[in-house]
């Protein structure tokens, strides 16, 4: 699907499907609810609805933890619009009565109730469903359904356990999966999932067409990574590195870095296949979306890779990277014991004595379980069977000793990242190498020599990042008829915005984080300087809302910086003033006048234009709190039905005013940059 060439500047809203609430919804938002919401948007001058990912996530509420790159989430199916469910209105009403009035929806309970009812609906109409030629045609057009149906049936038989815990079919061949799909004895159980996905596709596609009639288009969200427990990782293991997990390096907020638990891609194998899986993934998305957000686009340049045996992200490295070879270290005098000193943790007995009640014998006993003594010294190295932090945590050790040794496991200057063609180790420095025991033991000259080597490797590595991203993003984003947009937040290397600009991919500008980070006071970047090919926004699903930031986080200094960046004078009485609808209008209107062609903000921030929809406290309006796994996350719902929003003339007019402020930049933008290409 393609965005129309006009309007030149686009005003959008960001909302999870599950957050919608209408007269017909059943426990959470459903695909059918997008249409009345689009009617509200059309009245308000909003022409783009950005959805969070809508893939099937099983029992996990996070939309970024998909079981399939293609299957849609059954929780978004409208039971009332399901033709086979006509005799089940009493059961549908029962689910609605239990769930619809809740402030936030109970994802797991609601999904379980819907799936139980869907199985009952299928069973009652099985003969008619299986004889419908439309189902056969749909299956023929969606080849991925065979692997997904087999996977989901096995998962159900194994009580939703991860496929890595199944007693059978953990590592099936393509032929074994196909045989199971074609098995007459399992036909109906597999075709249940095909029927379900066909109905989801029908409802979503119908909503997309109705939105387009209103002049409203959808923007999708494509997570870069797949869940370890996904159909894709199970059926296509050659495309995933099961030995490495994606994450992020240490920073001020996460001093141990992060391990997200998702396997990284084997790009070499994907390249041999012409990136067919990724191309099909985007082609499938293009059936619904006119634009798409590429989640964590930095991962296409380089991904922070953490060995699977670790819980933290400290001992990760960038993939790809330019490794340090064994000969390069030998040339610098690092071989034998000297090489082991900088590449393996060495733990003195006293470190464990201190953690073990200053008991020398107990310390030796603990150390002997997981470490080998270095000669007769009071120094130890880890046994070959210890492969990561999890190995140490599984050992029979006192808690204090266990955590001491986990910390010591990270204490190395270089780490092994692979092997060359001759089988010799390849290395890179750990993220915090300057804090390690080995680094502190080196002379100034030795440190300077290694710094030169590390710097040379970093420069070469960054050239590899650029080359990889240019190939991957150029191949993938250029192959579909959707406007590509990037989630390019965080610490971004200079090559990222350069490559995005070359490929016509829109970057993301979050006002509170768009700063001159290396300047005194880290001032906000002037809104007018945002590049035309970018998306400006006030907050994201992982942050507080605009109201929450203004009232609880920013402070008067941040507010003053905001008005300076907007180019407008600080309104009288703003310092110390709590967020209210008039202030919301002023703030949103100034961001709307940013240089970005697309201005797209979370629905909560637009609802702030009316005091009738404020959650109390402001934290209650959040979508997600990163670093936490709770029933709160990903379950926010709008406080009133969409039908009520459509009738709220003051809200509709206020949003339309902000949209006009964005559109008014059209003539000046054309005068400065030329008409949209």
Which long-range CB contacts under 8 A does 179-185 form with residues at least 24 apart?
180/150, 181/146, 181/147, 181/149, 181/150
368 inside domain:
yes
Predicted confidence (pLDDT) per residue in 193-225, tens digit: 999 999 999 999 999 999 999 999 999 999 999
Predicted confidence (pLDDT) per residue in 561-609, tens digit: 787 888 776 666 665 677 899 989 999 999 999 999 999 999 999 999 9
* CA dihedral for 80, 81, 85, 87, sign (positive or negative): positive
Q: What is the dihedral of CA 594, 597, 601, 603, to 10 degrees?
A: 130
Q: Phi and psi dihedrals of 4, rounded to 5?
A: -65, 155
Q: Do 170 and 84 fall into the same domain?
A: yes
Q: Are 64 and 295 in contact (CB under 8 A)?
A: yes
**Cβ-Cβ contacts under 8 Å for 110 (sequence gap 6 or more):** 27, 28, 75, 95, 99
What the block records as the tokens of 96 is: 């609605």
> Is the link from the previous residue into 144 a cis peptide, with omega within 30 of 0?
no
491 inside domain:
no
pLDDT, position 673: 36
Q: Do 450 and 385 fall into the same domain?
A: yes
pLDDT, position 6: 57
- Give the DSSP H/E element, type plus range, for residue 43: helix 34-43
C-alpha pair distances (Å), 509 with each of 348, 489, 523, 524: 49, 8, 14, 11
Q: Are 418 and 444 in contact (CB under 8 A)?
A: no
Q: Phi and psi dihedrals of 12, rounded to 5?
A: -130, 170
244 inside domain:
no
Q: Do 323 and 437 fall into the same domain?
A: yes
- The structural domain count of the chain equals 3
Can you give the C-alpha Rg of the chain in angstroms? 27
Q: Which of 344, 318, 329 is nearest to 410 (CA)?
A: 344
Q: Do 605 and 525 fall into the same domain?
A: yes
Q: Do 430 and 520 fall into the same domain?
A: no
Q: Which of 438, 461, 484 is the last residue of a domain?
A: 461
pLDDT, position 5: 63
Q: Which of 405, 428, 461 is the last residue of a domain?
A: 461
Global pTM value: 0.92
Q: Which of 407, 430, 461 is the last residue of a domain?
A: 461
130 inside domain:
yes
Q: Which of 277, 292, 279 is nearest to 240 (CA)?
A: 277
Q: Quick one: what percent of the chain has pLDDT higher than 90?
A: 84
Q: Do 523 and 597 fall into the same domain?
A: yes
Cross-strand bridge partners of residue 307? 244
279 inside domain:
no
Cross-strand bridge partners of residue 13? 49, 601
Q: Do 70 and 218 fall into the same domain?
A: yes
522 inside domain:
yes
Q: Do 198 and 76 fall into the same domain?
A: yes
Q: Are 529 and 497 in contact (CB under 8 A)?
A: no
Q: Collect the ranges in the chain with pLDDT lower than 50.
A: 667, 669-677
What the block records as the tokens of 649 is: 């003339």
Q: Are 650 and 644 in contact (CB under 8 A)?
A: no
Q: What is the DSSP string of 534-555?
A: EEEES--TTS--HHHIIIIIIH
79 inside domain:
yes
Q: Do 345 and 457 fall into the same domain?
A: yes
How far apart CA 424 and CA 622 sit, in angstroms, is 50
How far apart CA 356 and CA 369 sit, in angstroms, is 14
Q: Which residue matches tokens 């929450």?
A: 548
Owning domain of residue 196? 53-228
Q: Do 421 and 337 fall into the same domain?
A: yes
DSSP state of 72: B
Q: Do 513 and 400 fall into the same domain?
A: no
**Cβ-Cβ contacts under 8 Å for 3 (sequence gap 6 or more):** 10, 48, 217, 290, 291, 483
Alpha helices in 158-275 (DSSP H): 174-182, 187-213, 231-235, 267-272
Q: Are 538 and 548 in contact (CB under 8 A)?
A: no
How far apart CA 202 and CA 385 sit, in angstroms, is 52
How far apart CA 430 and CA 425 sit, in angstroms, is 15
How far apart CA 365 and CA 372 sit, in angstroms, is 11
8 inside domain:
no
Q: Are 487 and 296 in contact (CB under 8 A)?
A: yes
Q: Do 514 and 624 fall into the same domain?
A: yes
Predicted confidence (pLDDT) per residue in 399-428, tens digit: 999 999 999 999 999 999 999 999 999 999
CA angle in degrees (0–180, nearest 5) for 600-606-607 = 150
Q: What is the length of the chain?
A: 677
Query: Checking DSSP bridges between strand 217-222 and strand 291-294, what pairing results, if any?
Result: parallel
How far apart CA 508 and CA 297 sit, in angstroms, is 11
């Amino acid at each position: 699907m393609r965005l129309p060439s006009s309007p030149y500047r686009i005003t959008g809203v960001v909302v999870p499907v599950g957050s919608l609430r209408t007269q017909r919804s059943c426990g959470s938002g459903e695909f059918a609810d997008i249409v009345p919401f689009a009617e509200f948007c059309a009245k308000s001058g909003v022409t783009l609805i950005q959805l969070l990912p809508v893939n099937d996530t099983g029992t996990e509420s996070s939309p970024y933890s998909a079981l399939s790159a293609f299957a849609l989430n059954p929780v978004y199916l409208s039971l009332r619009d399901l033709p086979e469910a006509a005799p089940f209105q009493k059961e549908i009403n029962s689910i609605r009565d239990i769930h619809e009035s809740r402030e936030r929806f109970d994802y797991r309970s609601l999904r379980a109730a819907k799936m139980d009812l869907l199985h009952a609906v299928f069973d009652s109409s099985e003969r008619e469903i299986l004889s419908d030629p439309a189902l056969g045609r749909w299956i023929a057009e969606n080849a991925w359904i065979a692997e997904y149906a087999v996977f989901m049936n096995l998962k159900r038989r194994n009580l939703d356990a991860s496929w890595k815990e199944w007693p059978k079919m953990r590592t099936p061949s393509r032929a074994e999966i196909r045989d199971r799909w074609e098995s007459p004895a399992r036909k109906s159980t597999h075709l249940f999932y095909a029927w379900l996905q066909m109905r989801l596709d029908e409802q979503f596609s119908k909503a997309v067409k109705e939105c387009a009639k209103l002049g409203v288009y959808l923007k999708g969200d494509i997570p870069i990574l797949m869940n370890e427990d996904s159909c894709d990782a199970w059926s296509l293991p050659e495309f995933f590195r099961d030995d490495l997990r994606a994450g992020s390096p240490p920073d001020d907020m996460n001093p141990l870095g992060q391990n997200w638990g998702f396997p990284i891609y084997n790009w070499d194998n994907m390249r041999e296949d012409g990136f067919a899986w990724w191309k099909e993934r985007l082609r499938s998305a293009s059936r619904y979306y006119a634009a798409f957000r590429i989640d964590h686009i930095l991962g296409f340049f380089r991904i922070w890779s953490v060995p699977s045996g670790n819980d933290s992200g400290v001992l990760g490295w960038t993939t790809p990277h330019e490794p340090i070879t064994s000969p390069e270290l030998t040339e610098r005098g690092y071989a034998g014991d000297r090489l082991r000193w900088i590449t393996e943790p060495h733990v003195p007995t006293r470190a464990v004595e201190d953690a073990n009640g200053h008991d020398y014998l107990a310390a030796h006993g603990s150390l002997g379980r997981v470490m080998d003594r270095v000669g007769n010294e009071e120094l130890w190295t880890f046994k070959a069977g210890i492969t990561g932090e999890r190995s140490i945590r599984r050992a029979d050790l006192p808690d204090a000793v266990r955590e001491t040794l986990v910390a010591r496991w990270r204490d190395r200057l270089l780490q092994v990242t692979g092997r060359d063609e001759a089988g010799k180790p390849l290395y890179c420095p750990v993220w915090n190498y300057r804090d390690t025991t080995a680094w502190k033991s080196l002379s100034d000259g030795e440190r300077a020599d290694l710094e030169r080597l590390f710097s040379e490797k970093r420069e070469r590595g960054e050239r590899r990042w650029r080359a990889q991203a240019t190939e991957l993003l150029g191949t993938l984003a250029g192959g579909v008829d959707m406007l590509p947009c990037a989630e390019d937040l965080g610490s971004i290397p200079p090559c990222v915005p350069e490559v995005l600009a070359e490929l016509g991919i829109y970057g993301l500008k979050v006002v509170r984080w768009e700063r001159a980070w290396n300047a005194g006071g880290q001032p906000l970047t002037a809104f007018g300087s945002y590049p035309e090919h970018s998306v400006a926004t006030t907050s994201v699903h992982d942050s507080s809302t605009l109201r929450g930031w203004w009232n609880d986080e920013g402070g008067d200094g941040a507010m003053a910086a905001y008005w300076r960046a907007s180019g407008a004078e600080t309104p009288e009485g703003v310092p110390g003033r709590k967020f209210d609808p008039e202030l919301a209008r002023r703030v949103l209107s100034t961001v709307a006048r940013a240089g970005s062609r697309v201005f797209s903000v979370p629905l909560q921030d637009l609802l702030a234009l009316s005091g009738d929809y404020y959650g109390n406290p402001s934290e209650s309006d959040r979508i997600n709190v990163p670093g936490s796994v709770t029933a709160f996350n990903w379950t926010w719902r709008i406080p009133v039905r969409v039908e009520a929003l459509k009738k709220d003339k003051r809200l509709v007019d206020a949003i339309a005013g902000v949209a006009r402020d964005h559109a008014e930049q059209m003539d000046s933008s054309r005068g400065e940059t030329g008409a949209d290409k």
